[in-house]
Amino acid sequence: MDRLNILIAGIGGQGVVTAGKILAEAFHEKGLTVFESETHGLSQRGGAVTTHVRVGNVNVPLIPKGGADILIAMDGIEALRNASYLSTDAKVFLNESVKLPSLPNVKPVSISYVLENLRPWRTYTLDCEQIVRDGYRCNTVILGLVYEISLRKYLDINDFIKVLRGPTNVKSFMLGVQRGKYYESLAAMDRLV
């Protein structure tokens, strides 16, 4: 691997920073050079949070616009807000929810609008509300999905298992891996939209 850029975007409380640290630790366990950097403003009030994870031949912590290979978006609006970071062949891993606007007279955005605007990129979706209701953690489920679809060629599953803390995180990660296998089976049947 020469270089891999992963951007994680969401809002405060969705586990964006934790997901970035897990990714960075997994690559570090593999012995690869990794930078992890966070940017967040009013995250404790539901504001935007991004984490940049850069692996391999890199010397600055932030991903340049158009340079992200993978976007993990914990919210639809944050996916759109950070789409300018995506390379032309990037993959998007998206939580299907969209935060309602907090200001009056602002029209809410639908998930179908988000998906339509992400059409240039291969997008994999998850319903995090259902995942959380079932007792799993959404950020580690998405990491399992990303591992199965995009990171297996760089990391062993044990690189992740070593850095996941607690059985709930491991179960959540493995649920994401199973979801990734499901997507791969759809792709094999040429039914992936």
Per-residue model confidence as pLDDT tens digits over 147-176 = 999 999 999 999 999 999 899 999 999 999
Separation between Cα atoms, residue 122 and residue 142, nearest integer Å: 15
DSSP 107-164: PPPPHHHHHHHTTTSEEEEE-HHHHHHTT--HHHHHHHHHIIIIITTT--HHHHHHH-
Pairing of strands 48-56, 68-73: unpaired
Stretch 44-54: mean pLDDT, rounded? 85
The amino acid occupying position 1 is: M
* Band of residue 99 on the pLDDT scale cut at 50, 70, 90: confident
SS3 43: helix
Q: Which domains does the chain have, with CATH numbers?
A: 3-190 (3.40.920.10)
pLDDT of amino acid 44: 60
Average pLDDT, whole number, for the chain? 91
pLDDT of amino acid 67: 97
Contact 66, 5 (CB under 8 A): no
pLDDT of amino acid 43: 59
* Band of residue 41 on the pLDDT scale cut at 50, 70, 90: low
pLDDT of amino acid 132: 86
pLDDT at 45 over 70: no
pLDDT at 110 over 70: yes
Separation between Cα atoms, residue 74 and residue 8, nearest integer Å: 8
pLDDT of amino acid 192: 57
pTM for the full predicted model = 0.92
Stretch 128-133: mean pLDDT, rounded? 88
pLDDT of amino acid 13: 85
Strand partners for 7: 52, 71
* Band of residue 33 on the pLDDT scale cut at 50, 70, 90: very high
